[in-house]
Every structure is written in C-alpha cells, then in structure tokens.
Chain A
Amino acid sequence: MILIKDNLCDFCGTCVSVCPPDAIELKESEIKIDDTCTECKLCVYVCPIETLEFVE
C-alpha cells in the first residue's frame, strides 16, 4: 500500500496529476488514497518531497 507521511504532505497535487485510476483525493489540507489504487507507485516517484512511500 501507499503510505502518506502526513506531516510532510504540502497538498500540491503533483501525485494526483499522474495517478492512473484517479485514486487520490486532495482537499485544502487533507490527502486520501482510496482502494482503486493499483500500487503503480508513480505518485511515490513524482512527489517533490518524498511524502509517499510504498510498503508491502
């Protein structure tokens, strides 16, 4: 699954823009990844500050 290190997320939306199934929802100061996530890890790779982490 994709872990969000909440204290790091700046809610910039870069991850949202590359997510193939549109699994990421971003409000002003909230981020959620729903269960349509396919664990492709593009979000992990593209995050500017390594907020997202893939764990088995």
Chain B
Amino acid sequence: MQALRLCLSDRNSGVCRMKEFYDVVVVGGGPAGSVAAWFAAQGGASVLLLEKNRDIGPPVRCAEGVGHDGLKLIVEPQPFFIQNRITGVNLIAPHGKKIHIENHDFGYVLNRNVFDHYLAELAAKSGAEIRTKSYASSLIFENDNVSGVNYSCLGKEFSVKCSIVIGADGVESRVGRWAGIHTQLKMKDIDTCVQYTLANIDVDPKNCDFYFSSKIAPGGYLWVFPKGEGKANVGLGIGGEYGQNESPKNYLDRFIADRFPEASFLTTTVGGVPTAKTLKEIVKPGFMLVGDAARQANPISGGGIVSGMIAGKLAGQVAADAVQKGDFSKKFLKEYEKQWNKAEGNNHKMFYRLKEAVYKLTDEDLNKAANAILKMPPEKRTIVNIFKTVLVNKPQLFVVILHVFKDHVKEVFDPLVN
C-alpha cells in the first residue's frame, strides 16, 4: 500500500492537506480533464487535478457550441449552463446562398464558464481533489514509467507521485511531449482562430451559421453562434498554412465591418483548434492523453468539447480499472485507445479525409455544389442524396469521395446503387 503522509504547508501558500501520492494525477481542468478526474474518482481511484490558471473555466477560448446528442452522452442538458438552444444550422456557400438544415434537437450554445465549473464539481463530488494556480512543469519517471508530476503553485515547488498521469493540457499538449509522444501539430492540422462576442447585432437566435469561402476564412470557416436576441459568438478559424499571409484577426474584422457594423465587442478571444486526426499513440506506461491534447477534436468542425468528454470518461474508467488491477502498463492502458477508436477515433480518420477533400474544392466548386443541393427539397437533403447530387454535377469528385469513405464503402455506396 502506498505511504500516505498528510503535509500541512504554511497558510500563505493556500495549499494544505496535500497527499504525496495519488492513484491518478490529471493535468488540465477543461472538460476532458474534469471528466477524466470524475470517472477515475467514481471508479475508486484517488485523484488530483491540477489547473494552471487561477480559475476553472476562464478564459473561454471556445465558440461554446455543442450537439445535443453528444452532450447527453456525458451529462443531462440543463438550463443553468445553457445560454441558447439551437434548432437549425445554415451552411453558407461563397456566393452567399444558404443551405438550411432544421433539427429540433440540434444543440446548444453553452456558458463555458458555468459548464466547466459544473464538470469540475462533479469530479470534486466524486472525490477528486482540484488545485488551481498549479502549473505542471515536468513529469517524474521510474524507469520508463511515468510516475509523477512536478508542479509549482504560488511560488512553491511540489512533487506528487502517482500510478497514472492523464494529460489534458489542451492544444499546447506539452505534457504528452514530456511523456515521449509526438504531439506537435503540422500547420495544416491547426486552425488559428479569433472570436468576438458581439452585442447589438441582428441575428436569428435559433440558428447557427457556418460560412465557407476562401475570401472569408481560407482553410477553415466563419461561425455565428447566437447566444440570444442580438448577441452572438462570431469567430473564424483559418488553416494554419494561411497564417503566414494574413492573421485571422484581419479576416474577421473585415467580415464584421461589413456585416455587423453596429456591433459592440463584449469579449475578444484568440486560440488554436487542432484539426488533426487523433494521434497514433495516446498511451504510454503510466500515462494517458485526452481531449485537444490528444488531438481528439473533430477534424472537420473543430468541435472538441464532446469528444474531449467522451475521451475523459473512457480514460477515467480505464485508469480506475488499472488502479484496481495494479496494472499500469501500456498494454493495459491501450484499452482506452481501443475504446476511443471504436467510439470516435475511427470516424475521425474519415472526417479528416473529408476535411482535406473539402478544402481542396475551389469557391466555384462549393457554389456549384450548393446550387445543386438547393434544388433538392429540404426533406431529401440527406448525406447520401447530397453526394449523389454533387457527383452528378462534378464527376471528378467521385475519386475524392471514394478516397474519403474508403473504410465505409459498403455503407455509403449501397444506397447509391440501389
């Protein structure tokens, strides 16, 4: 059994009653980290969660949109963390024509500050200990096994030993590198983004807008996510490879000057969104990687909240299981990797190919595709029919689509030929 020594440090540091050993240490208190801590603790592990910022929640670097179905996999949607309910989506082609998709249960625009706190509270109620202003600086190793974390809190250095470290440090993903995983992103696999929360604007509060156009957002898209009447998160991401020419801020400012000239700016947020497929390796002996840190955001939408939480839940459960069995080997922890691939990872491989294909299309190609889709009655706008229509109009895309869906050929093409 591990030695347990309660360490009462002086009151000035604000840190007291720290253990020197935990079964699991989670680095990063975003949705992925908090959910990992929650499920590890629920499974009986002792858990410490370290967050470098002074708060769980802010700063919000996020468009705050989630799908209803995805959110429900982890928590029940509740009004106190939801700012707005979305029942439709507009995909806007370069020439400005909109493709509207209606769905009563599309999703929500969250209040991420409240939501993140809620997830952390669920972790805390399950027994996880959470420390903020706690900056992890390196990992501790015992032979090849990750066995702890060195961190600083309010000017003091600490070492904490553990059986498993879960890296949930977001897009930076440094903890994974320290564990020997190549987490660094290629320029084509990151979207560099800027977002404002705008007030005094004219928006349809029920629909989210997605603008695709090389002039508005090359290699990415611009979003308008309404938070209610007259207020919305308006932002865009451009492909990293376009950042050298012009910053995303310039693109966004131009759009807003044109479309929302009367806007007031309530927040300014910048950040990077990983649009890679999941890293080939997300476990090491005594170590697991979750969320944006593992590059588990959806490659085509950039959405990372739900995928981060799903990964957190799977990792937390496998971690608790590992603690019970006393097996922290890479082989045992790979069960998490397997479950992730089954749940989302394999789909992301396909979405990644789709992303690459879509962003090879010119604005003219997108316009033609949009025109073709708009000729279809709304109820017939299923994925299969959309592709059929696009193929009729641009047969060259057939090869692209075959490549994108190569692992799912049967499901996609059966309905096409029958």
- Chain B residues contacting A50 (CB-CB under 8 Å) are 247, 249
- The range of chain A's interface size is 20 to 34
Interface of A is mostly: loop
Chain A CB within 10 A, most for which of B52, B59, B187, B271: B271
- Chain A residues contacting B173 (CB-CB under 8 Å) are 17
How many A-B pairs have beta carbons closer than 8 Å: the answer is 82
Known contacts: A22-B174, A48-B271. The answer to whether A14 contacts B192 by CB under 8 A is yes
Please, how many angstroms separate the alpha-carbon atoms of A44 and B214 in the complex? Answer: 22
Known contacts: A18-B240, A27-B135. The answer to whether A13 contacts B271 by CB under 8 A is yes
Question: Are B244 and A45 in contact (CB-based, < 8 A)?
Answer: yes
Question: Are B194 and A49 in contact (CB-based, < 8 A)?
Answer: yes
Please, how many angstroms separate the alpha-carbon atoms of A19 and B182 in the complex? Answer: 11
Question: A3 to chain B: closest CB distance in Å?
Answer: 16
A40-56 vs B, Cβ < 8 Å mask (1 yes, 0 no): 00100111111000000
A35 is an interface residue with CB less than 8 A from chain B: no
Please name the residue on chain B nearest to A44 by beta carbon. B244
Question: B149 to chain A: closest CB distance in Å?
Answer: 15
B160-192 vs A, Cβ < 8 Å mask (1 yes, 0 no): 000000000011111001000001111100101
B341 is an interface residue with CB less than 8 A from chain A: no
- Chain B residues contacting A34 (CB-CB under 8 Å) are none
Question: Are B177 and A22 in contact (CB-based, < 8 A)?
Answer: yes
B249-260 vs A, Cβ < 8 Å mask (1 yes, 0 no): 100000000000
Question: Are B174 and A14 in contact (CB-based, < 8 A)?
Answer: no
- Chain B residues contacting A1 (CB-CB under 8 Å) are none
Task: Count chain B residues whose beta carbon lies closer than 8 angstroms to a beta carbon of A.
Answer: 33
- Chain A residues contacting B193 (CB-CB under 8 Å) are 48
- Chain B residues contacting A27 (CB-CB under 8 Å) are 52, 135
Please, how many angstroms separate the alpha-carbon atoms of A12 and B62 in the complex? Answer: 11
B272 is an interface residue with CB less than 8 A from chain A: yes
Please, how many angstroms separate the alpha-carbon atoms of A19 and B187 in the complex? Answer: 10
Please name the residue on chain B nearest to A21 by beta carbon. B184
CB contact list, B189-245 vs A, under 8 A: 190, 192-194, 240, 243-244
Known contacts: A12-B61, A27-B135. The answer to whether A46 contacts B172 by CB under 8 A is no
Question: Are B270 and A46 in contact (CB-based, < 8 A)?
Answer: no
- Chain B residues contacting A48 (CB-CB under 8 Å) are 192-194, 243, 247-249, 270-272
Question: A27 to chain B: closest CB distance in Å?
Answer: 6
Question: A4 to chain B: closest CB distance in Å?
Answer: 14
B274 is an interface residue with CB less than 8 A from chain A: yes
Question: A38 to chain B: closest CB distance in Å?
Answer: 13
Please name the residue on chain A nearest to B171 by beta carbon. A17
Question: Are B171 and A28 in contact (CB-based, < 8 A)?
Answer: no
Please, how many angstroms separate the alpha-carbon atoms of A28 and B170 in the complex? Answer: 13
Please, how many angstroms separate the alpha-carbon atoms of A16 and B292 in the complex? Answer: 13
Please, how many angstroms separate the alpha-carbon atoms of A22 and B271 in the complex? Answer: 18
Question: Are B243 and A17 in contact (CB-based, < 8 A)?
Answer: no
A10 is an interface residue with CB less than 8 A from chain B: yes
- Chain B residues contacting A12 (CB-CB under 8 Å) are 61, 171, 270-272
Please, how many angstroms separate the alpha-carbon atoms of A22 and B130 in the complex? Answer: 27
- Chain A residues contacting B174 (CB-CB under 8 Å) are 16, 22
Question: Are A46 and B177 in contact (CB-based, < 8 A)?
Answer: no
Please name the residue on chain A nearest to B133 by beta carbon. A28
B329 is an interface residue with CB less than 8 A from chain A: no
Question: Are A42 and B187 in contact (CB-based, < 8 A)?
Answer: yes
B53 is an interface residue with CB less than 8 A from chain A: yes
A1-32 vs B, Cβ < 8 Å mask (1 yes, 0 no): 00000000010111011111010001110000
Q: Beyond A12-B61, A18-B187, A48-B272: 6 further Cβ-contacts under 8 Å?
A: A10-B271, A17-B190, A28-B135, A42-B187, A48-B243, A50-B249
Residue pairs across A and B with Cβ atoms less than 8 A apart, 25 shown, are A12-B61, A12-B272, A14-B171, A14-B192, A14-B271, A16-B171, A16-B172, A16-B174, A17-B172, A17-B183, A18-B185, A18-B240, A22-B184, A27-B52, A28-B53, A28-B54, A45-B187, A45-B244, A46-B240, A47-B247, A48-B193, A48-B272, A49-B194, A49-B249, A50-B247
Q: Which residues of B contact A (CB under 8 A)?
A: 52-54, 59, 61, 133, 135, 170-174, 177, 183-187, 190, 192-194, 240, 243-244, 247-249, 269-272, 274
Q: Which residues of A contact B (CB under 8 A)?
A: 10, 12-14, 16-20, 22, 26-28, 42, 45-50
Closest 10 CB pairs of A and B: A14-B272, A13-B172, A48-B270, A16-B172, A45-B244, A12-B271, A45-B243, A48-B192, A17-B171, A10-B270
